[in-house]
Every structure is written in structure tokens, then in C-alpha cells.
């Protein structure tokens, strides 16, 4: 599975959009981009995933560049409860996710 | 509650003791995974079951670790002769094969069992 690169930490003001980038320059054609988040002391929570088209659900939007070498997770109106570590995972759909160290997002009041 | 359930949530044990954790996956899911997470790191894959068959084990899973999934339902992870380095969060996840060949749907994680070896 492709390796991903994410910033170590980010801050975002409450009510503003949080844009979390992820680089996956070695992604191959059959690999999906998945995003999970982990709030302190809880299990990872699924957010969204996509292949090449932009995706949106009730939690977030996922923007994947045309060359698929990077993506951005967008939380449109961040709240304090969105403070968490966000993981970007690239996988061909096999059973084994490779988590990095993720981005620690802090939403500020 | 139809999520992945793990028990116990916390376990403190003395070095050298054996411990066993249980995971109840989402009922329709035939795939079950165990991960381990140490402080400040992302989860690391340990092992994977499809129904009752254990199809892969990570090199992280030493001989002291054993996982089972009898009848393809719940799963147990046992650690024998615990060491301080085994202190971690043990996470279980489950998923169902997606409608498209070769692609799983997303995996759903439980809340984990936090093990502290003293």
C-alpha cells in the first residue's frame, strides 16, 4: 500500500473550515484514499473514502487531485468536538490499513 | 448497539501473567482485524480473520500472542507471559466485503482494550 505524508499538527478556529492535506504520490490506480479520525482514548472512526472523484457525506468532503497524488479532507464548519488525530490511508481495499502518525487537529474556541 | 464491542475496556496485569481480550464484531461482518496502538503512534496491524480462518499474522505478533475466532463470530486475543512492552491499546475492527470484487468496505473499530503491564 502507498505511503502517505501528513502535517504533524494543525489549528483551526471554531466555525471555520478545516482543510487537512495528505500526499500520496506513489498511489496506484486501484488504490483508494480513506480518512479516519481518532478522538482521545477512543477507537478510530471512519470519515470518508474515495477513488478519484470528489466525495461528500454528512461529516466531510474529500477532494482528490486529478493526478491522485494528493487529497484534502474538508470539515466545513469545525467544532470543538472535531479536535482529534486525522489519519489518511491509501489502500487497494485489502484488509490491512497502514496508519501513519496522522495530523493532530486542534479546533480553537 | 450494533457497533464493534470490546471487553474489557481496561486491564492492568502483572508482568508474566496471561491476559485475554474479547471482540464482538458487527454481526453481518465476516472480516475481523486486530491492531495494536502505542502512545503517540497510529494503530499497527496484528492479524486478520475471514470468518473463522486466520489469514494473516503480522511479525509484530510474537509466539506469546494467539488469536482465535471460533465459528466466525467473536474473537479473542490472548497474550501469554505479558511483558511491559505489551502495554498498549488493542483495537478490534470488522468489515464486510464490498459489492465490487477486491474492494472492502470501510472497517469499523471498537473502543479498544487498554492494557497496562506493571
Q: What is the pLDDT of residue B96?
A: 83
Q: What is the per-residue pLDDT across B96-118, written as a single tens digit (0 to 9) for each?
A: 876 554 555 789 999 999 999 99
Q: Which residues of B touch A46 (CB under 8 A)?
A: 106-109
- Confidence bin at A94 (pLDDT 50/70/90): low
Q: What is the per-residue pLDDT across A33-51, written as a single tens digit (0 to 9) for each?
A: 999 999 988 999 999 999 9
A64 SS3 class:
strand
C-alpha cell at B70: 471460533
Q: Which of B116, B102, B43 is nearest to A100 (CA)?
A: B43
CA B99 to chain centre: 25
Gap from B14 CA to chain A (nearest CA, Å): 22
The residue ranges of chain B whose pLDDT is under 70 are 1, 98-104
CB contact under 8 Å between A46 and B110, yes or no, is no
Amino acid at each position: 500500500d502507498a505511503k502517505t505524508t501528513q502535517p504533524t499538527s494543525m489549528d483551526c478556529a471554531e466555525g471555520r473550515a478545516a482543510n487537512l492535506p495528505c500526499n500520496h504520490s506513489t498511489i496506484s490506480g486501484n488504490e483508494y484514499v480513506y480518512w479516519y479520525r481518532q478522538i482521545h482514548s477512543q477507537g478510530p472512526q471512519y470519515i470518508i473514502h474515495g477513488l478519484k472523484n470528489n466525495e461528500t457525506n454528512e461529516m466531510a468532503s474529500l477532494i482528490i487531485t486529478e493526478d491522485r497524488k494528493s487529497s484534502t479532507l474538508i470539515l466545513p464548519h469545525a467544532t470543538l468536538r472535531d479536535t482529534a488525530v486525522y489519519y489518511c490511508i491509501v489502500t487497494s481495499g485489502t484488509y490491512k490499513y497502514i496508519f501513519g502518525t496522522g495530523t493532530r487537529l486542534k479546533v480553537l474556541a | 448497539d450494533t457497533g464493534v464491542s470490546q471487553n474489557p475496556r481496561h486491564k492492568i496485569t502483572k508482568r508474566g501473567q496471561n491476559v485475554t481480550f474479547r471482540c464482538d464484531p458487527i454481526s453481518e461482518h465476516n472480516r475481523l482485524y486486530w491492531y495494536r496502538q502505542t502512545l503517540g503512534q497510529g494503530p499497527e496491524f496484528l492479524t486478520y480473520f475471514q470468518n473463522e480462518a486466520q489469514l494473516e499474522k503480522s511479525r509484530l505478533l510474537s509466539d506469546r500472542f494467539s488469536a482465535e475466532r471460533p465459528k466466525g463470530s467473536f474473537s479473542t486475543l490472548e497474550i501469554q507471559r505479558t511483558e511491559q512492552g505489551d502495554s498498549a491499546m488493542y483495537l478490534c475492527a470488522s468489515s464486510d466485503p464490498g459489492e465490487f470484487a477486491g474492494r472492502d468496505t470501510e472497517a469499523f473499530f471498537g473502543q479498544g482494550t487498554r492494557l497496562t503491564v506493571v
